[in-house]
Amino acid sequence: MAIKISARDVLMDFPARDAQQRVSVLQGFDLDVREGEFLSVLGPSGCGKSTFLSILAGLTARTGGRIHIDGQQLAGVNRSQGVVFQGYALFPWRTVLDNIAVGLEIRGVGREQRRRTAQAYLERVGLHGFGHSYPHELSGGMKQRVAIARSLAYEPDVLLMDEPFAALDAQTREILQTELLRIWEQDRKTIVFITHSLDEAIYLSDRVAVMTQRPGRIKDIIDVPLARPRSNEIRNSAEFVALRQRAWDVLKDEVQFGVHPAAAARPTSPHPLRPLQELA
């Protein structure tokens, strides 16, 4: 499969408060994303995974390293990418349909064509009848559906999703994960999905890239050979549980209640199960 995105030795650091040292967020970050795959980047909080996405989206400038998308060096915002943020980022003064059409408006698509495309994507994310509502009239799950429709409407090659379901309640999150897979199955565009949830990463992805704690780099990549299309019940299968355990084995050394590696070398934490529950 062709390589869609290639990141080599990416460095992201900024001056520390005393200005003598620099704080590294990402260091020696290497990752290849294949064309048409669903790849999750999984890592402990504060590891720099969202920073990587922001760099990939062209919203933050990296301090070093090379990133190529379709063989082109990444420089600024790439118009063939769509981003879905955790905080929905919908424009509160626009109706649902106008929100979905924003990307098309930016691209100079005519009003009538915009309306038709937006309507089609509204149906696709299951929000029929809500086109003229305002974002504040919708629940969190519905807002995120709008945000997904908005990023799909201008047909980007790559969808970058930054912990899109992290703010939702557990049930809505599971529903939206299944919905996202259903939508993705239709055209299988490349998706880079940032998450801190093991279950979410394994359920959705073809591959899961596990990060180290800060300064973040990719520690290991786990293939997820679960058959598609995946139903919600797959989470209970022995295969899923085994994959989850494998990913946890890679991740657990990085989740040490935010303590530095040196300090974390002490005997096991008093609540060995807690990080597992938090991640679930």
The contact set with another protein (CB under 8 A) reads 57-59, 77, 79, 81-83, 85, 87, 89, 91-95, 102-103, 105-107, 126, 128-130, 133-134, 136-139, 141-142, 151, 154, 171-172, 174-175, 232
In the bound state with another protein, the residue whose beta carbon lies nearer, of 18 and 233, is: 233
In the bound state with another protein, the residue whose beta carbon lies nearer, of 136 and 266, is: 136
Smallest gap from residue 32 Cβ to another protein (A): 22
In the bound state with another protein, the residue whose beta carbon lies nearer, of 127 and 224, is: 127
List, in sequence order, the alpha helices (H) in 58-161. Answer: 96-100, 102-106, 111-124, 140-153
- Contact between 188 and 181 under an 8 Å Cβ cutoff? The reply is no
Smallest gap from residue 179 Cβ to another protein (A): 8
Distance, first Cα to last Cα, the chain: 31
In the bound state with another protein, the residue whose beta carbon lies nearer, of 29 and 85, is: 85
The structure tokens listed for 63 are: 């301090």
Q: What is the largest CA-CA distance in the chain?
A: 65
In the bound state with another protein, the residue whose beta carbon lies nearer, of 21 and 232, is: 232
Look at residues 171, 177, 120, 173 and name the one whose alpha carbon lies nearest to residue 149: 120
Smallest gap from residue 11 Cβ to another protein (A): 22
Smallest gap from residue 279 Cβ to another protein (A): 21
Smallest gap from residue 104 Cβ to another protein (A): 9
The kind and range of the H/E element at 182 are: helix 170-187
The kind and range of the H/E element at 176 are: helix 170-187
Whole-number Å distance between alpha carbons of 125 and 104: 17
The structure tokens listed for 101 are: 């059409």
234 sits in the region (left: phi over 0; alpha: psi -120 to 50; else beta) called alpha
In the bound state with another protein, the residue whose beta carbon lies nearer, of 147 and 224, is: 147
Smallest gap from residue 130 Cβ to another protein (A): 7
